Amino acid sequence: MTFYPLIGMIGGLAAAAVTFWIARGGRGRPLHLALGGISVSLFLSAVTTYVLMLSGPQVPSLLFWLSGGFQGRSWTQLGYMTPWVAAAFVGALICRRIIGLFLLSEQVAAGMGVNLALWKPVLLILAVLPVAGVAPVAGPVAFVGLASPHLARLLRPEGPGWTLGFSAAIGGFITLSADFVARTVALPRELPISIIAALIGGPVFIYLTQRRDLSFRGER
């Protein structure tokens, strides 16, 4: 498992690069970026399904990992993923001023002297790092990464540093709440945490996408 995060980071960067390449057809607008991400996700889901068909007796364990969960995980697995998450969070805090300019728009950031060709890949790597550390341990947990930043922005924090902190706290709260429900609602069995997280985060994200001030809608 030591090398899984590195493999995950390489795969995540490759998927993100393809997504950005697709989005450039729409000049990188948020809507086209989302559509590009959906396209890449559907393609990789098809590849995953094909791999499952060839996995034989390992299918149940792979299915549980794909559904997301912490069953059977220990402090050892926490030690594997902590450096990746910590490095990304500290790096994001160091780059908080750049992130704040990007939140306004790429044009504003470029006008303020930000080198887009340099900082966009740097921020992309910082975004992929925590996912690369967590996914090998817990699998894909849906909607937490989508809903948490927008919920944090509703709190109107004073600066991007506070936004990052609130996003981490809200994401952790959603994950812990989903894990608690997954462990208790169907005793003695444990449900996949991704199901509970989707039930919590899905409606929240749908509500957020309907807000007129949500930047995700992008084209106004």
| CATH number, domain with residue 72 | 1.10.3470.10
pLDDT at residue 215 in the model: 46
Residue ranges for the chain with pLDDT beneath 70: 1-2, 25-31, 211-220
* 120: in domain: yes
Residue 11 lies in a domain: no
Which domain covers residue 138, as residue numbers?
A: 59-214
Q: Is residue 91 part of a domain?
A: yes
Residue 14 lies inside a defined structural domain of this protein: no
- Structure tokens, 177: 């709440």
Q: Number of helices and strands (H, E) in the chain?
A: 10, 0
CA distances from 45 to 8, 17, 39, 81, 219 (A): 15, 17, 10, 24, 28
Residue 118 lies in a domain: yes
pLDDT of residue 92: 92
pLDDT at 27: 60
Report how far residue 53's alpha carbon sits from residue 12's, in angstroms, rounded to the nearest whole number.
23
User: Is residue 39 one of the residues assigned to a domain?
Assistant: no
How far apart are the C-alpha atoms of 23 and 37, rounded to whole Å?
Answer: 9
